[in-house]
Amino acid sequence: MGPNDPDNPKSWSRPFRWYITMLSATLVLNATFASSAPEGIIPDIMKQFSFGTEVATLTIALFVAGYCVGPLIWGPLSEQVGRKRVFLGSFLVYTGFQVGCALSPNTASILIFRFLGGTFAAAPLSNSGAVMADIWDADTRGKALALFTLAPFAGPTLGPTVSGFMAVSGVSWRWVFWLLTFFAAACLIATFFTLPETFVPVLLVKRAQKLRKETGDDRYWAPLERNKMDFRHRVKHILGRPFVVLAREPMLIAITLYMSFIYGCIYLLFEAYPIVFTQGHHLNQGISGLMFLPIFIGGSLGVLTYLLVFNPRYERAMAAFSPHPVPPEYRLELCLWAAPMFALSFFWFGWTSYPSISLWAPLMAGVPLGTSIVFLFLGLFNYVIDAYLFVAASALSSMTVVRSLFGAGFPLFATQMYQSLNPRWASTLLGLVAVAMAPIPFVLRSYGHHLRRKSKYSPTGDQPTKPPMKEKGAQAV
């Protein structure tokens, strides 16, 4: 499909592509908002079903655990049947499970519905990034992903605020799940009516089918139609491909471990913040939820900084490397700033968490934390998409599975860790782990091109690593 083909998603009007970007981000926001929404109503659920703190934590952990199962199916499946069908099917079922949570009569039902809801909500996490690769060239993809990256952690930070104030207002905890139902249904309707198919191989199949029907000539075919597999091989391909890609790619393993630790820390804070702010500073559920907002504010500042500072530098690099693409390693520049910032944020949060110190001190640690998370997600997501291109969905799916394991696991030990070690030393431990992992983007920046040359799945290994000589000596940033 040529670059000027009207059916090519990259040739669609820019306003329409920006709409698709915003809709894809909203789908991710929906899923991540739902993951943390029960945080503000946990005391009410505990009272309703008479279970303890550990079981209450499962209402969040099991939803995130569903992210481990969903991407195994949704990412590779989207490469077979298209993005839109996967979004529609998964969100239809996901909406139903939100109704199930709202009507749950006992502990078992709400935990099961939360896990199944997370499984079907995971489709945007693995496929929305692939949609970005479908519709944007490298020059604009960075800007699109900058806005898109807010969604994966804006949702978790906004969820406790909304549910906390709903709990304080006195409404039933079930209305939180009804709210999630209405939000999911609205996204489903918008997807059905306004989201087109963006995966080029599937679009070529539709074109071939149309030509065969119009002409009666069976010689028209699309490559995806010739790639037929029986059910057993299809299942093996769908479930196994993400992990095959992950297991054979050292740089993908390193990126996945780093992003998984970051993601786990986000969900760990849902247990740590109540210990510091609710117990330590005696705030109610609603005000405690507001303590997460600096993380969102920091993320927004990170996006703004990227658009005003780092993306123009990347555009200059594009001009310097033209007509060749810019090496993926240039996406990692902002990670070099963010890696130390992420570690320092935990030291800041931990050692200002004394009840005798103003709550503004640990509260404001969320700003650099949010900024560093956005920088790291932006740089590493862009790097994976630029490096792996046609298997980006499978690469992102494997990353999502492992990342979600961390996100589901960290809250399970967070309360015990922060109570046993106290918030100071628990945060210090996290900061030290972050320091140990901080060299990963520095190593990839320096040696990533060597790894790409040896990669079986990265088609970018033979690209130049330095800008070609220009008549006026143009230099890359």
Tell me the pLDDT tens digit for each residue of 72-107: 788 778 878 889 999 999 999 999 999 999 999 999
Question: What 3-state class would DSSP assign to 134?
Answer: helix
Tokens representing 345 are 């944020």
Q: From 419, 154, 159, select the one nearest 289 (Cα to Cα).
A: 159
Cα distances (Å, whole numbers) of residue 247 to 107, 251, 253, 455, 462: 37, 10, 7, 11, 22
Residue 446's pLDDT band (cuts 50, 70, 90): confident
pLDDT tops 70 at residue 459: no
Residues 6 or more apart whose CB falls under 8 angstroms from that of 315 comprise 139
Letter string b/e over residues 285-312, b meaning 16 or more CB atoms within 10 A of that residue's CB? bbbbbebbbbbbbbbbebbebbeeebbe
Residue 474, pLDDT score = 45
Helix axes 366-388, 333-351, angle to 10 degrees: 150
Residue 191's pLDDT band (cuts 50, 70, 90): very high
The answer to whether the beta carbons of residues 59 and 45 sit under 8 Å apart is yes
Mean pLDDT, the chain, rounded, equals 86
* Distance from C-alpha of 64 to C-alpha of 107, rounded to nearest angstrom: 18
Overall average pLDDT of the 357-361 stretch: 93
Burial level of 216, CB count in 10 A (0-12/13-18/19+)?
exposed
Tokens representing 44 are 């009410």
Most confident among 110-114, 140-144, 245-249 (mean pLDDT) = 110-114
Q: From 368, 205, 202, select the one nearest 299 (Cα to Cα).
A: 368
Alpha-carbon dihedral angle through residues 25, 383, 133, 312, given to the nearest 10 degrees: 80
Percentage above 70 pLDDT, the chain: 92
In angstroms and rounded to an integer, the radius of gyration of the C-alpha atoms of the chain is: 23
pLDDT tops 50 at residue 311: yes
Residue 471's pLDDT band (cuts 50, 70, 90): very low
Q: What share of the chain is helix, strand, coil (3-state, %, to 5)?
A: 80, 0, 20
Q: What is the DSSP letter of 465?
A: S
Q: From 112, 85, 83, select the one nearest 100 (Cα to Cα).
A: 112
Reduced 3-state DSSP string for 32-80: HHHHHHHHHHHHHHHHHHCCCHHHHHHHHHHHHHHHHHHHHHHHHHHHH
* pTM > 0.85: no
Residue 106, pLDDT score = 92
* Distance from C-alpha of 438 to C-alpha of 435, rounded to nearest angstrom: 5
Amino acid, res. 225: E
Q: What is the DSSP letter of 357?
A: S
Burial level of 263, CB count in 10 A (0-12/13-18/19+)?
buried
For 371-390, the pLDDT digits (tens) are 999 999 889 988 888 888 77
* Distance from C-alpha of 273 to C-alpha of 291, rounded to nearest angstrom: 8
* First-to-final CA distance of the chain: 33
pLDDT tops 60 at residue 470: no
pLDDT tops 90 at residue 202: no
The answer to whether the beta carbons of residues 255 and 382 sit under 8 Å apart is no
Amino acid, res. 411: P
* Distance from C-alpha of 349 to C-alpha of 431, rounded to nearest angstrom: 10
Residue 463, pLDDT score = 66
Overall average pLDDT of the 129-149 stretch: 79
Question: What 3-state class would DSSP assign to 356?
Answer: coil
Q: From 386, 390, 385, 403, select the one nearest 76 (Cα to Cα).
A: 390
Cα distances (Å, whole numbers) of residue 380 to 77, 178, 252, 337, 366: 23, 35, 10, 13, 21
What does the angle CA 190 – CA 193 – CA 197 come to, to the nearest 5 degrees? 100
For 423-433, the pLDDT digits (tens) are 999 999 999 99
Overall average pLDDT of the 301-326 stretch: 87
Cα-to-chain-centroid distance, residue 251: 18
Residue 116, pLDDT score = 94
